[in-house]
Amino acid sequence: MELKKELTQTAKNAAKAARFLANLSTSEKNRILEEMAQNLEKNKSAILKANKKDITHAKSSKLSSAFIDRLTLNDKRIGEMVDCLLSVAKLPDPVGSEIKAWDVPSGLHIHKVRVPIGVIAIIYESRPNVTSDCIALTFKAGNCVILRGGSEAMHTNQAIYEAINDVAKRNELPEGVINFISTKERRAIEVLLKLNEYIDLVIPRGGEGLIKKVVTLSRIPVIKHYKGICHVYVDDYADLNMAEKICFNAKVQRPGVCNAMESMLVHRDVAARFLPIMLKQFKEAGVEIRGCALTQRIGKDGIKKATEKDYRTEYNDLILSVKVVDTFDQAIDRINEYGSHHSDSIVTDDEDNAKEFLRKVDSACVYVNASTRFTDGYEFGMGAEIGISTDKLHARGPMALEELTSYKYAVFGTGQIRE
Amino acid sequence: MELKKELTQTAKNAAKAARFLANLSTSEKNRILEEMAQNLEKNKSAILKANKKDITHAKSSKLSSAFIDRLTLNDKRIGEMVDCLLSVAKLPDPVGSEIKAWDVPSGLHIHKVRVPIGVIAIIYESRPNVTSDCIALTFKAGNCVILRGGSEAMHTNQAIYEAINDVAKRNELPEGVINFISTKERRAIEVLLKLNEYIDLVIPRGGEGLIKKVVTLSRIPVIKHYKGICHVYVDDYADLNMAEKICFNAKVQRPGVCNAMESMLVHRDVAARFLPIMLKQFKEAGVEIRGCALTQRIGKDGIKKATEKDYRTEYNDLILSVKVVDTFDQAIDRINEYGSHHSDSIVTDDEDNAKEFLRKVDSACVYVNASTRFTDGYEFGMGAEIGISTDKLHARGPMALEELTSYKYAVFGTGQIRE
């Protein structure tokens, strides 16, 4: 009961503060973001000290080395957090910008303008930079934020939050603009997700388990950043030289991210020419191949058989499933069926196939003759991102400042009444 | 278990059919919509016969006369349903239209284009026209629909559905494009709302109870069309003659709808001049006034005292709460606190107050010098509407064809790989 009361008060304060923050000027927001960056830098040693505590605890709890790597801060990583705050300060403010404007026959003049969403809860796992990155983005878009980080990073997150929130206090922003849930009670998430009266949106950032949990428990709208099972399809009209470069890049350049290729499809008519060279390159780069029967035959030794599950797996690693398809249509069907509707690419010189692929593949980002690795807020020219939405509602694909806003209609009349 | 299996199959079919429908041409969709209109007209007597059954049952169940009125069909009402199908056929198709396009430094050319959302479930209460109106709008925007109407209108809804779906069958559209849940089991809604794997969006259309139930049970994103507690604020700089006309229209022209005024705020400095004339007009129109102490004093006899609850009530009737405010800021605070963020208007000749009101009032539609009654898809130039969203995510305010779409990024490259 205490917990519910406390979290309800936090959410209420945030909802109230949201009215203030919605009207804070761009220059004030930018000045405060820069001050936050400075104070984060200034509190570096305190943050690193808090981080040590978390790391010690994680080691004694025998958490994986990958986990500990994500948790660990150092000068460089804190520098990146500072840079994020500074770069968000430099981005254009979406709040108040006009989406469109038009007149209607009654003589009313209608403006559709961007406004903040209101209160956004972020539930995240181990990476401590999420704390400061999410504060930067939500604050710039005029939203109050409620942060709930993973318990394993609690000391680190709290230290980051305090360094940033000190600036909010010093600038006399109302209580509730930036909120951090520090209780150890695991039930906090469940309670938070029922506060739909005050919280407008929740964004879970983490593994599939976390996201599914949030969807199951939430009465608040959720924007999900699920996994990326991304495909590159090498068409029978592909420039095979270009296809090699794109497939290699999509798999190898950074295999641990959601826009990396997990499955490669090759048209039957080019498989015998394309696969031997491609598979050799992958082998040299240490990529494990799991292929269909034909891929196994062409690739000879060392090609494992791909299971149904392989074709639906996000490896986030140097592993790739490969399938030879009989037709262009089969490629499209497989991508829509086995993929995660994130990012998929076709390599082809045939304009009709390119257009049909773009139209029929039901993914957030569909590419012609480019690596899937470009699905990213920076690469898309949005300056930053809070993640890649795999939802179709509100925001799809890279989600940045504009996607952290809603809109309202401002309507100018001269005494109009409805007949 | 049977029910779950059956509904899962329905949702699966819809998700599969959605891929087909997303690529059906505009001219085909329009031709089919026109044919649906014709077949609805042709099956008028069967629909009226089914409607009689529902009405007889409603009467024997002693349902209210307002309820029975909403349920009742006649030639005119079926004519309006036919017209809706025909007018939606004439509206521009949002699918495939370009939202924006730009180039990025890597040389990629990015198009942001509208695509259907996919599968939309509509859960609604007694008005049978929702069946055909929602089919028209979702179909035109390329979405498969799953309809679940109120049990009291089951025979009517089924007859309307069959007349329309016959056309889908005759045109050999895949099974699953238009779906109607006819089971009597009340648990159907609960089961449906867990099928987030196949259904992309649910829109409840009905009273607050229904909407709250859907929000509580759903794992699928919900767009809510909650109540309208709309305000008109008469500023101290108002043209009082204009204010009278606007307030009268906003309350009296059609009191039963969500964009009618439920609460009138008047600045203290003009209350003594404005209220006597205004209250007299309302009295003559049969409007019951519930006012603050000052309103009671000015209005003399017959003004009931407004309670806290009155100021938070959507009457949908000829009742109005009235409050005299001391300042412009108090008016804004009250609207944000007591209103439902739907539609609110200021009457003023002061440009600064107008602009500040537009900026600070956190509602879907904010008006200057016009009646709140204009919040409507037709009046906003959208041609039709599925309702007025009181949400901030995805769609806010009048929700029409564009709001029934998502988007994707179609990206054209020339071999780009990520460095």
Q: What is the pLDDT of residues B159-186, one digit of tens each?
A: 999 999 999 999 999 999 999 999 989 8
- Alpha-carbon A372 to chain mean position: 15
Q: What is the mean pLDDT of residues B44-50?
A: 98
* Sheet with B144-148, edge to edge strand ranges: B178-180, B144-148, B119-124, B201-205
Task: Count Cβ neighbours within 10 Å for each residue of B243-255 and write b for 16 or more, e otherwise.
Answer: bbbbbbbbbbbeb
Do A374 and B221 lie within an 8 Å CB cutoff? no
User: Which residues in chain A have Cβ-Cβ distances shorter than 8 Å to B391?
Assistant: 221
- Cα distances (Å, whole numbers) of residue B390 to A42, A194, B260, B302: 43, 18, 15, 34
Query: A309 vs chain B: nearest CA distance in angstroms?
Result: 18
- State the pLDDT at residue B302: 80
- State the pLDDT at residue A349: 98
* Sheet with A405-416, edge to edge strand ranges: A98-103, A109-116, A405-416, B365-370, B343-347, B230-234, B261-267, B319-325, B288-291, B304-305
Using CA coordinates, name the residue in chain B closest to A412: B368
- Give the CA-trace dihedral at A59, A62, A68, A72, to 10 degrees: -20
Residues 6+ apart with CB under 8 A from A62: none
Tracing tokens 């641990």 back to the chain, one arrives at A256
Contact A405, A95 (CB under 8 A): yes
Q: What are residue A111's phi and psi, to 5 degrees?
A: -110, 130
**Which pair of tokens denotes residue A321?**
């499933």
* Residue percentage of chain B with pLDDT more than 90: 94
User: Which residues in chain A have Cβ-Cβ distances shorter than 8 Å to B285?
Assistant: none
Among B35, B82, B64, smallest CA distance to B126 is for B64
pLDDT, chain B, mean: 96
Contact A114, A93 (CB under 8 A): no
Q: What is the mean pLDDT of residues B389-410?
A: 97
Candidate from B102, B221, B370 with C-beta closest to A221: B221
- State the pLDDT at residue A384: 83
User: Which residues in chain B have Cβ-Cβ distances shorter than 8 Å to A391?
Assistant: 221
CA atoms of A13 and A177, how far apart (whole Å): 8
User: Which residues in chain B have Cβ-Cβ distances shorter than 8 Å to A222?
Assistant: 221
Contact A274, A239 (CB under 8 A): no
CA atoms of A78 and A172, how far apart (whole Å): 26
Candidate from B221, B242, B414 with C-beta closest to A415: B242
- State the pLDDT at residue B126: 76
Query: B342 vs chain A: nearest CA distance in angstroms?
Result: 10
Q: For the CA atoms of chain B, what is the radius of gyration?
A: 24
Give the other-Cβ count within 10 Å of A39's Cβ: 18
CA atoms of A264 and A347, how far apart (whole Å): 11
- State the pLDDT at residue B416: 98
Check residue B179 and report its DSSP letter. Answer: E
Among A48, A228, A21, A224, smallest CA distance to A123 is for A224
CA atoms of B257 and B374, how far apart (whole Å): 11
Q: What SS3 class is residue A285?
A: coil
Residues 6+ apart with CB under 8 A from B265: B231, B232, B233, B234, B322, B323, B324, B325, B331, B334, B335
- State the pLDDT at residue A126: 76
Residue B1 in this model has a pLDDT that exceeds 80: no
Element (H, E) at A318: none
Tracing tokens 């009646």 back to the chain, one arrives at B371
Q: How confident is the model at residue B300 (pLDDT cuts 50, 70, 90)?
A: confident
The residues pairing with A145 across neighbouring beta strands, listed in sequence order, are: A120, A178
Residue B66 in this model has a pLDDT that exceeds 90: no
Do A397 and B414 lie within an 8 Å CB cutoff? no
Contact B22, B95 (CB under 8 A): yes
Among A323, A274, A195, A358, smallest CA distance to B408 is for A358
Element (H, E) at A321: strand A319-325
Q: What are residue B228's phi and psi, to 5 degrees?
A: -115, 105
Q: What is the mean pLDDT of residues B119-139?
A: 94
**Which pair of tokens denotes residue A327?**
């037709």
- State the pLDDT at residue B297: 95
Mutant choice from B108, B363, B373 vs A, greatest count of A C-beta within 10 A: B108
Contact B256, B316 (CB under 8 A): yes
What length is written for chain A?
419
DSSP3 helix / strand / coil % (chain A, rounded to 5):
45, 20, 35
Do A108 and B369 lie within an 8 Å CB cutoff? no
Do B374 and A102 lie within an 8 Å CB cutoff? no
- Cα distances (Å, whole numbers) of residue B354 to B164, B275, B357, B361: 47, 21, 5, 11
Query: B419 vs chain A: nearest CA distance in angstroms?
Result: 8
Candidate from A200, A392, A414 with C-beta closest to B200: A392
| Pairing label, strands B304-305, B288-291 | parallel
Q: What are residue B32's phi and psi, to 5 degrees?
A: -65, -40
Q: What are residue B207's phi and psi, to 5 degrees?
A: -75, 170
Among A188, A221, A187, A190, smallest CA distance to A203 is for A221
Contact B318, B252 (CB under 8 A): yes
Q: For the CA atoms of chain A, what is the radius of gyration?
A: 24
CA atoms of A59 and A393, how far apart (whole Å): 40
Residue ranges and CATH numbers for the domains of chain B are: 2-98+117-224+395-404 (3.40.605.10), 230-374 (3.40.309.10)
Taking each helix axis from N to C terminus, what angle separates A154-170 and A129-140, rounded to the nearest 10 degrees?
30
Do A365 and B242 lie within an 8 Å CB cutoff? no
CA atoms of A110 and B307, how far apart (whole Å): 35
Mutant choice from B408, B412, B419 vs A, greatest count of A C-beta within 10 A: B408
Tracing tokens 């100021």 back to the chain, one arrives at B311
Do B417 and A245 lie within an 8 Å CB cutoff? yes
Under-50 pLDDT residues of chain A: none
Q: What SS3 class is residue A203?
A: strand
Amino acid at A161: Y
Do A201 and B19 lie within an 8 Å CB cutoff? no
CA atoms of B24 and A274, how far apart (whole Å): 35
Do B393 and A196 lie within an 8 Å CB cutoff? no
Q: What is the pLDDT of residues B186-216, one digit of tens each?
A: 899 999 999 999 999 999 998 889 999 999 9
Contact B272, B384 (CB under 8 A): no
Do A411 and B253 lie within an 8 Å CB cutoff? no
